[in-house]
Amino acid sequence: MILIIAMIAIPAALAIISIVVPSRISGPLTALGGLCTAACIIAADLGGASGVRAPDALSAIFLLPVAIIYGTVGLYTHWYVRAESPANSEGERYRREFLALTNAFACSEIIVPLLTNMGGLWVALETTTILSALLIRLQGTAAALEAAWKYILIASCGLAFGLVGVVLLYVAGIGPLGDHHIPQWSAYIGAAAHLNPDAVRLAFIFALIGFGTKMGLAPMHAWLPDAHGAGPTPTSAMLSGALLSDALYAILRFAAIANLAVGHGLSHILFFVVGLISLFLAAFFLLQQRDIKRMLAYSSIEHMGVIACGLAFGAPLAVAGALLHAINHSASKSLAFFAAGRLTERYETREIAGIRGGIATLPVSGTLFALAGLSLAGLPPFGIFRSELMILGGGFQSGSWILAIVVALLLAVAFAGILRWVTTTSAGSAEGEIHRGERFGAAIYAMLLGFIVVLGLGLVVPPQLTQLLERAIAIVGQAS
Amino acid sequence: MPLHHLSVPEAVAGTIAALLLLTQLALFRSVVLSELITLYAVQSLFVACICLDVGLVAGAWDLIALAILTFLFKVIALPIYMRRLMNGVSTRVEIPSKINVLLSLLIAAALVGIGCLTASQLPLKTGAFLPIADLATMLSIVFIGFLVAILRPNAFAQVIAFLTLENGVFFGAVTLAPGQPFVVGILVLFDVLVAVVVFAVLVRILVAIRSSAATAQLQELIG
């Protein structure tokens, strides 16, 4: 319990501290706080002798992406706020606001997987939207304003659909659980057989549309490339790496109830539809993208599509792959955003055409960007390769041969797109007078830490994580 | 349910549901921002009334308290706040030429039909007032709110669309699931209010940068 309190209290306290103390103090504190929180989450998830200390294994799984992101974002932000703001009072105001909002956003992202009350879950997700919209507009540019506006409007309207899902689930539970029940996930699971099946079906559809909007699933993804592309780099990493996973967590809670109450058919079909549309759309946008951060945003849509397809296949291997993919994607995507942020800062452009010879210009950041790109493309020995293989293997195992082949083909298209921009930006030498070389500092340590996770998860899945995955599969209720 | 079987509170609930839907449809007719805000205030008043109606019949103090809070925040505070925010901004809402008022209303009518059809397929036994009409009204208001947000390229109009959409969900929550914990209702209300403040911050910046609340100008990020 202490660890749970600590993982919420640290970022919450840092959010308040960042407003009142100078950024030269709150910056390092945020870096330290991020690492401490990550340690608390990992200890709570994997270190306990008596098992998981989070509400259950599914919560524990979805705390891990936040741990990876906040642990590295804290460090990276320490460099970012100084690099991106002038050393005057206006810059100091920006730094304080940025650090406070980043810590508050991390806190809200941690709270989401800890909640199993469906109403509370909705409130926490809406809170993440509000905080992240404020972070996106902090850039102060017209593009940032446009992205923030589209994001908060689309995500809030989408989440209203999610709230309809919560209300309908409550209605479904009135018969077996009473007029005044607490909308607790475990209560619905316990009474699944007696829930009103029609209301559960409709609740799941609304939840998938609502929380799927937040997860960036096509065709509800319109906000994602703008917000991830125009937002500050650490915010993009937090949005892509942790927030999408939070939304996935909410969907899985609904899916678990729907699977038990009305069978797997509905969730499988719907996951297939949104998964394949997302994959198709992202794969082709990846081929023709010109903006390096929007490229990474479309890659997020692609990977959310892969996860949805994994859930749709339904075989335990595929579901385990989907859950593991959420963790792998978080690690690789945050690393890619961090490194892209270093490149865009040095080249002073986000246009892929303007970035050449990334490795020669920034030996560490450029190399890590190329490696993160290869990881996102699904190459071994990185974690994403493993989880994609598990998803496809699960697809064949479940007998969905044609769909598994379609997914594999779309992944190949995305692979080609990503590989194209990785080679374009990384190889060769920079045009014009671009300063070469980089000094070791917080940003590089953050990226190296991220890279260790990306590579580590590819080489070995810790036995504690395997146990968590097995228990989480049973919770999702997809294992047949 | 035959009409003569309705009790007075049920008849009141049914009437308010119809009025709610009408105010939602009226959003398409209005091209002046102050009218949109008035419509939102009136709709919120209806929502507060139905919350009070259900609370009084069920003897639920939490719903009565929620009705009072809804009245204070949505009928009084928010409209005043939005009117202040509007100062110095063009009060006309642009209507795209391709989808005019008539066509918008036709699409909205089709959405109401979808809402009614969906609700009629769901034999919900909730013990609440007019369960089928409640669900149909909630779905229709949500769908139409979404449509208004899409079809009115004005920041204020889009915020009001979101708020009316939330009114629809709130109405559904109160009538279909009146036993929902008070704390959840309060949190949702609080969350929406905070969202509105953030919306307001963005609108202010938009107006400062572009001298207008028209969101059609936000076309930089494409592809």
- The complex's ipTM? 0.86
Task: Quote the CA–CA distance of B190 and B187 in Å, as a whole number.
Answer: 5
Q: How far is residue A181 from each of residues A262, A393, A457, B129, measured CA to CA in Å?
A: 21, 41, 41, 18
Quick one: pLDDT at residue A439? 80
The residue of A145, A150, A206, A213 whose CB has the most chain B CBs within 10 angstroms, and thus the best one to mutate to test that interface, is A145
Residue B178 is classified by DSSP as T
Q: Is the pLDDT of residue A387 over 60?
A: yes
Question: How far off is chain B from A51, nearest CA to CA, in Å?
Answer: 30
Residue from the list A143, A157, A174 with its beta carbon closest to the beta carbon of B220 = A143
Q: How far apart are CA B15 and CA B19, in angstroms?
A: 6
Nearest CA-CA partner of A251 in A206, A297, A300: A206
Mean pLDDT along residues A211-218 = 90
Q: What is the mean pLDDT of residues A289-298?
A: 88
Where does residue B95 rank: exposed (0-12), middle (13-18), buried (19+ CB within 10 A)?
Answer: middle
B78, B80, B83, B87 alpha-carbon torsion, rounded to 10°:
-120
Please write the tens of the pLDDT for every residue from A76-108. Answer: 998 888 887 887 888 899 999 999 999 999 999
At residue A207 the predicted structure's pLDDT band, cuts being 50, 70 and 90, is: very high
Q: Maximum CA pair distance of chain B?
A: 58
Which residue from A minimizes the CA distance to B190? A123
> Which pLDDT belongs to residue A234?
92
Higher pLDDT, B210 or A357: A357
Quick one: average pLDDT of A421-448? 83
What DSSP string runs through A6-71? HHHHHHHHHHHHHHHS-HHHHHHHHHHHHHHHHHHHHIIIII-TT---SSSHHHHHHHHHHHHHHH
How many Å apart are CA B69 and CA B77, to the nearest integer?
A: 10
For residue A196, the model assigns a pLDDT of: 87
Q: How high is the mean pLDDT of chain A? A: 89
Tell me if A202 and B195 make a contact (CB, 8 A cut-off): no
Closest CA to A167 of A199, A191, A197, A190: A199
In this prediction, residues A16-24 reach a mean pLDDT of 92
Nearest CA in chain B to A289: B223
Which stretch of A3-7, A334-338, B90-94 has the lowest confidence by average pLDDT? B90-94
Which residues on B lie below 8 Å from A157 (Cβ)?
145-146, 149, 161-162, 165
**Whole-number Å distance between alpha carbons of A224 and A437:** 33
- Give yes or no for a cis peptide into A380 (omega within 30° of 0): no
Q: Which residue of B has its CA nearest to A151?
A: B199
Contact by Cβ (8 Å): A457, A412: no
Under an 8 A CB cutoff, do B202 and A129 touch? no
pLDDT, residue A3, reads 83
pLDDT of A60 over the 60 cut: yes
Average pLDDT over residues B186-201: 77
Q: Which of residues 108-147 of B touch A (CB under 8 A)?
A: 118, 121-127, 138-139, 142, 145-146
Sign of the alpha-carbon dihedral angle for A242, A212, A151, B192: negative
Predicted TM-score (pTM) of this structure:
0.91
Q: What are phi and psi of A447, to 5 degrees?
A: -70, -40
Residues A189 and B68: their CA atoms lie apart, in Å, by 35
Could you read off the pLDDT of B70-101 as tens digits, one per residue? 999 889 998 898 888 777 666 666 666 567 77
Distances from the Cα of B192 to the Cαs of A2, A152, A474, B163, B197, in angstroms? 31, 12, 35, 8, 9
The reply to whether residue B162 touches residue A157, judged by beta carbons under 8 angstroms, is yes
A230 pLDDT higher than 70: yes
Distance CA(A355)–CA(A358), nearest Å, equals: 7
CB-nearest partner of A127 from B158, B166, B191 = B191
Contact yes or no for A356/A430 (Cβ under 8 A) = yes
> Are the beta carbons of B221 and A133 separated by less than 8 Å?
no
Residue B102's pLDDT band (boundaries 50, 70, 90)? confident
Which pLDDT score is estimated for B219? 64
Query: Do A313 and A379 contact (CB within 8 A), yes or no?
Result: no
Nearest Cβ partner of A153 from B123, B158, B179?
Answer: B158
Find how far residue A151's CA is from the centre of its chain.
Answer: 16
Mean pLDDT of B178-188: 73
- Residues comprising chain A, all counted: 480
Q: What's the rounded Cα separation, in Å, for the pair B133 and B115?
A: 10
Inform me whether the pLDDT recorded for A47 exceeds 70. Answer: no
What pLDDT does B131 receive? 55
A353 CB contacts (<8 Å, ≥6 apart)?
A290
**Helix residue ranges per DSSP H, chain B:** 8-29, 33-58, 61-70, 78-85, 101-120, 131-151, 155-176, 182-210
Does A478 score more than 70 pLDDT? no
Between chain A and chain B, how many beta carbons pairs sit less than 8 Å apart?
138
Query: Is A412's pLDDT higher than 90?
Result: yes
C-alpha–C-alpha distance, residues B143 and A288, integer Å: 34
Q: Is A378 left (phi over 0), alpha (psi -120 to 50) or beta?
A: left
Would you put residue A359 in left (φ > 0), alpha (ψ -120 to 50) or beta? Answer: alpha
Are B220 and A142 in contact (CB < 8 Å)?
yes
Which residues in B lie closer than 8 A to residue A168 (C-beta atoms)? 176
Residue type, B38: T
A170 and B145: CB-CB below 8 Å?
Answer: no
**Nearest CA of chain B to the CA of A313: how many Å?**
28
B184 vs chain A: nearest CA distance in angstroms? 6
pLDDT band, very low/low/confident/very high, at A49 (cuts 50, 70, 90): very low
Q: Does A149 touch chain B (CB under 8 A)?
A: yes
**pLDDT value for A480:** 43
With contact defined as beta carbons under 8 Å apart, do A238 and A330 qualify? no
Least confident of A171-185, B46-60, B108-122, B170-184: B170-184
CB-based contact A185:A250 (threshold 8 Å): no
- CB-based contact, A226 to chain B, within 8 Å: yes
Structure confidence by residue, pLDDT tens digits, B23-44: 988 888 777 888 889 999 999 9
A427 touches chain B (CB under 8 A): no
Partner residue opposite B123 with nearest CB, options A123, A143, A198: A198
Question: What is the residue-averaged pLDDT of chain B?
Answer: 80
Q: Assess A284–B contact: CB distance below 8 Å, yes or no.
A: no
How confident is the model over A233-283, as pLDDT tens digits? 999 999 988 889 999 999 999 999 999 999 888 999 999 999 999 999 999
Interface of A with B in 193-222 (CB under 8 A): 196, 198-199, 202
